[in-house]
């Protein structure tokens, strides 16, 4: 009762006849021999179960099963699934019954404890019905693969968490410029939920006036060029958003460009500050043009930082151009006594925080002029000097 009837019974008890001089006339015997050879030489562990009342008995195993270092399978031949599945979360008996009754192949992934060894392995199992009473169970040990996949999932989860919560926006596109990924930050910058951006053309996020420039950048990315640049994107509301973009091509397994990844930083505040500064500097320069005084910026140790020369008056006739002064020291252009007095007023202006007045006579353009120099501290290491006559 522990073995299948007929040809299968013979297949489990007989060995194939390899003597070519003895003709095989029994088709059932020939089929049984083929089955036995096939079963014994399956590359993975396989086990044969036979119905026994309301249980299934283990009646055979193949060579691969016998060679498992953590299995004692030989000791369990003739034992029932009800007994062998004790301590296992998997209901082997129920699956054997279902498989035999329905004739359908079943697939499971289980944590399987090998009896008498304390070893637990993760197995992918397939139950194949041979008849209403016989089921062959195949196993594939996927423990290491499962561990690797779990580690990969954890790594991907950590990576996605980092990317999703990054201060920088992240925008990935495919070869055609279609957005394939957007994190929360880029969504915040542009007024979208991340998933609203996925599937859109990246050019939808660019003002029409910049499409040509965007197309040129895309061509460079397809050519494998990596670069960083400032660019203007369009907010959902239609407002401009200035960003700094570090763009890199993405490659497929064959080394071909498959898309691009963009790390995006919002620089709108910086741009507004730059524009405000440019406006302020323009106003300052315009104001300077109306002032007839010579204005000089120097460091605490007397190094020239900037010089504004009026367009009229004696100070327009300096012995050197303004650019020739920059980076040089007061001592490079003046007598020692003048340089010492100059340093004294600079130091006093920085130490006291008060305007220091110095009146002296100086030759400008071959004429002697009386000069009033006003020294004003401008920070810890800079003095602004205004010279009037």
Q: Between these two residues, 252 and 271, which has the higher pLDDT value? A: 252
Distance CA 241, CA 234 (A): 6
Residues facing residue 282 across a β-bridge = none
CA nearest to 310, candidates 247, 349, 381, 364: 364
pLDDT for 14 beyond 60:
no
Helix (H) or strand (E) holding 212: helix 211-222
Alpha helices in 41-140 (DSSP H): 63-66, 81-84, 92-102
| DSSP symbols for 310-351 | -SSSGGGG-SS-HHHHTT-BGGGTS-HHHHHHHHHHHHHHHH
pLDDT at 103 (0 to 100): 95
Higher pLDDT, 258 or 21: 258
Judged against a pLDDT cut of 50, whether residue 172 lies above it is answered with: yes
Confidence at 3, pLDDT banded by 50, 70, 90: very low
Instruction: Round the average pLDDT of the chain to a whole number and report it.
Output: 83
Q: Is 357 within 8 Å of 328 (Cβ atoms)?
A: no
pLDDT-derived band of residue 209, with 50, 70 and 90 as boundaries?
Answer: confident
In the chain, pLDDT over 90 holds for what percent of residues? 50
Q: Which residue has the higher pLDDT, 36 or 262?
A: 262
d(CA 65, CA 332): 94
Highest mean pLDDT among 68-82, 315-329, 362-376: 68-82
* pLDDT, position 47: 94
What does the pLDDT read at residue 270?
A: 81
| Burial letters 186-225, b for 16+ CB under 10 A, else e | bbebbebebeebeeeebeebbeeebeeebeebbeebbeee
- Cβ-count burial of 300 within 10 angstroms (0-12 exposed, 13-18 middle, 19+ buried)? middle
Tally Cβ neighbours within 10 Å of residue 233. 24
Model pLDDT, residue 2: 36
State the residue for tokens 């980092």.
162
- Which pair of tokens denotes residue 247? 């763009």
pLDDT at position 288 is 60
């Amino acid at each position: 009762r522990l073995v299948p009837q007929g040809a299968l019974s013979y297949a489990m008890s007989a060995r194939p006849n390899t003597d070519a001089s003895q003709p095989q006339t029994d088709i059932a015997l020939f089929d049984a021999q083929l089955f036995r050879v096939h079963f014994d030489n399956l590359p993975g562990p396989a086990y044969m179960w036979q119905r026994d009342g309301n249980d299934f008995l283990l009646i055979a195993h193949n060579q691969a099963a016998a060679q498992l270092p953590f299995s004692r399978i030989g000791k369990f031949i003739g034992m029932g699934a009800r007994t062998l599945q004790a301590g296992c979360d998997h209901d082997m008996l129920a699956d054997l019954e279902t498989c035999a009754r329905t004739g359908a192949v079943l697939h499971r992934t289980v944590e399987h404890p090998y009896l008498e060894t304390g070893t637990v392995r993760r197995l992918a199992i397939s139950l194949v019905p041979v008849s209403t009473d016989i089921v062959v169970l195949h196993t594939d040990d996927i423990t290491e693969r499962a561990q690797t996949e779990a580690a990969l999932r954890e790594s991907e989860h950590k990576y996605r968490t980092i990317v999703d919560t990054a201060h920088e926006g992240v925008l990935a596109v495919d070869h055609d410029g279609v957005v394939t990924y957007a994190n929360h930050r880029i969504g915040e910058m542009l007024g979208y939920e991340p998933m609203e951006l996925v599937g859109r053309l990246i050019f939808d996020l660019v003002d029409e006036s910049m499409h040509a420039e965007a197309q040129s950048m895309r061509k460079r990315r397809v050519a494998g060029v990596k670069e960083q640049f400032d660019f203007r994107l369009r907010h959902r509301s239609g407002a401009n958003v200035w960003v700094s973009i570090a763009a890199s091509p993405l490659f497929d397994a064959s080394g071909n460009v498959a898309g691009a990844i963009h790390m995006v930083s919002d620089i709108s505040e910086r741009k507004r500050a730059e524009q405000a500064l440019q406006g302020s500097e323009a106003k300052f320069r315009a104001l300077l043009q109306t002032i007839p005084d010579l204005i000089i910026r120097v460091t605490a140790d007397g190094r020239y930082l900037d010089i504004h020369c009026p367009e009229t008056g004696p100070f327009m006739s300096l012995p050197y151009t303004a650019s020739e002064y920059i980076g040089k020291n007061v001592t490079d252009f003046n007598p020692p006594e003048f340089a010492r007095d100059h340093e004294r007023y600079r130091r006093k202006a920085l130490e006291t925080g008060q305007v220091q007045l110095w009146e002296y006579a100086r030759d400008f353009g071959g004429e002697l002029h009386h000069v009033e120099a006003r020294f004003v501290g401008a920070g810890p290491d800079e003095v602004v000097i205004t010279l009037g006559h």
